Chain A
C-alpha cells in the first residue's frame, strides 16, 4: 500500500497529487477537503471511531502510519504532566522505573488497553505530584526561552558570517579582474620578456594569497547594543559591607537599692506561686503566666528598701 488514500472519500495521492492527510488525537486520518466538509462548524466526531474532535486540533500527517501520529499526540499529552527529570529521583533505578511507567501508559492509551484505568492512574499521579509538576513546568518554560534565545543568536551569527563571505568573494573577483587587466597591460606595453612578466605576476598572486585575511570580528552584541548573553540582564548583587559580629551582652541590672529579689527559678522552686492567683486557661493561651506578676510584686516590694534620705 504505497499510495496514501483518504479513508472517507477514497482519494489517493496518485489521483490528487496535492492530497494532504490530516490527523487528530484519535489517530484516524482524513484528507483536507473532508476535514473542511465535516468540520464546517468547528467540531464534530471522527467518522471512524465517533470520538468528538475539534477542527483546530487537526494537523498534517507527517508519518505514514496514523498510529504513530496518535502516539505522538498521546505522548505529548502525557509528558505534559509526567515532566520529572532525572534530578528529581534518588537513584537511576527509580528514574528508569518512572520512564517505564510513562511508556506503559503511552502504549496502553495508543492501543486502547485499559483506557479508563490508565486515565485514572494519570489523574492520581497529577493529584499526588501537583507541586512538582507546576515547578518543572515553569523550569521547562524558562529553559525553552533560553534555548530560543541561543537559537536566535546563532541565526544572527550565521547571517553575519554569510554576508562577510559574500563580500570577500566579490572582493576576490574584482581583484582577479584587476590583476588580469594589469597583466595584459604589462604584456602590451612592457619591454621585457613576456615569460618573465608572467612569472612575476604568478609570484605576486601567490604572495597575496598568503596574506592573512583579516579575522572577522566576533559579534558579541545585537545592533542595538544589547549583549547576547543572558548574564548581563541579571544585575550583579551589590556587596554588603559586613560590620563586626554582634556579641550578646547581658543587660546591666541597675542598683535596686534594696535586697535582691528571688530569680524566676527560685519563685517556681521555693513555692511562691502557691500564694499567687494561678493563670486560667484563657490567660495561658494569651501567653500569660503568674510567675512574672509575682516577680514584679516581689521586686517592687524589695526595691528602695535601703532608700535613705
Chain B
C-alpha cells in the first residue's frame, strides 16, 4: 500500500523546490571536488551547470522511453514506470558528471526488469543494445549494486497503472459514463508523458492516475467532476478535496509543459560532459581500466587474517562508491 511505503516516506517530496535543492547540491559537490585545479571563471565553462544537467537528463529520459518501447520481448508498462522511478531517484543524489546517464539508464531498466518479475537474462537484455554487447553487460552488472545502494534498497515502486485500472472499474460500476474504455488511449498518452516530468517524485500514484483519468475524460468532452466530489470525496471534507484538486491541476500542468530539449543544446552538453565527467567511472578511460586491474590483482594476492578483511572491504567500497574514496 502506498500510504505505508518507502516510496511515500523517502521518495515523495513536497515540491519542486526541494528537488532543485537536492540537484544543485550534488552538482556543487562535484565541482568542488574535481574543480580545484581550475580557476573560478573557467569552472563554469568546464563543468555542467545544474540546468544543463537537467536538460541532459530530460534527453536521456526520452532515450529511456524509446529504449523500453523498442525492447524485445515487449516490456510491460510496470517495468518502464519502475525504471523511470529508479532513474529519477538515482540522479537526485548523484551527478551526471559522476555517472554517465547512458550507463545508469540501462542499469535502471535491467534492475526494473528483475524487480517487476519480467524475466530476461543479461544476454537477452544486451541484445537490445547497439554496440559492444560484452562491454554493455559488464557495465550494467558493475553498476547494478551501485544503483541499488544509491536507491537505499527501496526497490518496491508503486506505479499509477494499477490505480488507473481501479478507477476504471469503479467508474464502470458507480458512474453512468458511457463506454469508459474509450478513455484508455488518452490515459496511456498522459501516463507516458507523466514519466517525463517530476510528478512521480511529488505525488501519490493514485493522484497521478486520477489526473490521467480526468485528463482523458476532458479530452473526450466528458466531465467526471461529480464522480470525484460526490463519490470519492463525499466523506472527506473540503480541505482534502482542495488538496487533490490542486495536485491534479499541478500534474496536468507539468504534463502540458513537457517538451523535448533542443537537439543542438544537448549535443553541446554531451561534448562538455565527455570532458568533465569523472574519468574514474568512465569504462573507456585509462584510469578506470587501471583501477579495475588493480582490484583484480588485489584479489589474487594472498592475504592473511584480519589484514585481508580490511583490504577486501576497502575494495568493495571502492567498487560501490568510487566518489567516496
Residues of A bordering B, CB below 8 Å: 254-259, 270-272, 274-276, 294, 296-309
Contacts and interface: CB of A to CB of B under 8 A. Distances in A.
Contacts, number: 106
A302 B206 CA distance: 6
A271 to B, nearest CB: 6
A306 B244 CA distance: 7
B283 interface: no
B140 interface: no
Interface stretch (B40-48, B159-167, B186-194): B159-167
Contacts of A272: 169-170, 173
Nearest to A260: B235
Interface core residue of B12, B165, B166, B204 (most chain A CB under 10 Å): B166
Nearest to B4: A254
Q: Which 7 A-B pairs have the closest CB atoms?
A: A301-B166, A304-B204, A297-B166, A257-B3, A307-B204, A309-B14, A275-B172
B158 interface: yes
A299 B1 contact: yes
A276 B168 CA distance: 10
Contact of A305 (B14, B158, B204): B204
B237 to A, nearest CB: 10
Contacts of B173: 270-272, 274-275
Interface string B198-214: 00001111110110000
A257 B1 CA distance: 10
Given A259-B233, A305-B206, A306-B243, A298 B169 contact: yes
Contact of B15 (A254, A302, A309): A309
B36 to A, nearest CB: 38
B170 to A, nearest CB: 6
B232 interface: yes
Interface string B1-37: 1111000100011110000000000000000000000
A122 B22 CA distance: 92
Contact of B3 (A258, A270, A275, A297): A258
The majority secondary structure among interface residues of chain B is helix
Given A258-B206, A309-B202, A296 B162 contact: yes
Given A297-B162, A302-B166, A304-B207, A257 B2 contact: yes
Given A301-B162, A302-B166, 15 more contacts: A256-B3, A259-B232, A271-B173, A297-B166, A297-B169, A298-B169, A298-B170, A301-B166, A302-B206, A302-B232, A303-B204, A307-B2, A307-B206, A307-B247, A308-B247
B209 A301 contact: yes
Interface in B141-180: 158, 162-170, 172-174
6 contacts: A298-B166, A301-B163, A304-B2, A304-B206, A305-B206, A307-B207
B162 A307 contact: no
B236 interface: yes
A307 B12 contact: yes
B1 A303 contact: yes
A309 B206 contact: no
B6 to A, nearest CB: 14
A274 B233 CA distance: 24
Given A309-B13, A309-B14, A303 B165 contact: no
Contacts of B244: 305-306
A308 B158 contact: no
A255 B206 CA distance: 15
A292 to B, nearest CB: 13
Contacts of A302: 166, 206, 232
Contacts of B166: 296-302
A303 B206 contact: yes
A274 to B, nearest CB: 7
Contacts of B236: 259, 306
A255 B202 CA distance: 20
Nearest to B15: A309
Contact of A300 (B13, B172, B205, B232): B205
A300 B169 contact: no
A304 B160 CA distance: 11
A80 B1 CA distance: 68
Nearest to A297: B166
Contacts of A297: 162-163, 165-166, 169
A299 B162 CA distance: 9
